[in-house]
Amino acid sequence: MLSSQAWIWLLSGLDLVLFCMVTLCYIHIRRAVKKTKLSGRTLEQQIFEAKSKKVPDRRKHYRLVVDDEPCQVRILDFGDRDLRKLNNKNVDAKIKDISLGGIRLSCPLNFPIKEEVLIYVSFPMDEGTLIHMQGTVAWKKVKHGRTAVEYGVLFSDFLQRKKPEFRII
């Protein structure tokens, strides 16, 4: 049996991101199956409808859409001197989608993006393991009539982890 420190070491880097993606895929598929049973349409019908809606995608990484998975966001640095009092503020948010390069979040806090905003995202997996990723806010979208604001976050620590010792086994 491996110790918790051995598991953390094994799941670091690319292994950690792959583990997160697989677990989130599992959660998403499990919820999709439940919704399919409730909607009355078969999974094959839903897949056919999704395939018929082809939209060109310019993203570098495959993006997995998830159903508002809870996460914790800590704003590490606003980069703006006037907003430094808000540094290290924790906010509850929801994950909209995730990829190897970044994450889209829905957050009740509407903060300005004047400078580079550095944040820390934490979210639990099914078995209770917390995943932590650091990134910078790339964009912000405020939708009329909604209280939550969407933010696009580019993972910065993931790009630094691309080293030969972090490989998928």
| Local structure of 43: helix, strand or coil | helix
Domain spanning 4-160, CATH class: mainly beta
Query: Which residue's structure tokens are 């993931």?
Result: 158
The answer to whether the CB of 135 falls within 8 A of the CB of 76 is: no
pLDDT digits (tens, 9 = 90+) for 117-149: 889 999 887 777 888 889 999 999 998 888 889
Q: Find the helix or strand (DSSP H, E) in which 14 lies.
A: helix 14-39
Asked if 97 and 64 count as a contact pair (C-beta separation under 8 A), the reply is yes
Residue-level pLDDT at 4: 60
- Indicate yes or no: pTM above 0.85: no
User: Picking from 43-57, 71-85, 116-130, 137-151, which range would have the lowest pLDDT averaged per residue?
Assistant: 43-57
pLDDT at 39: 63
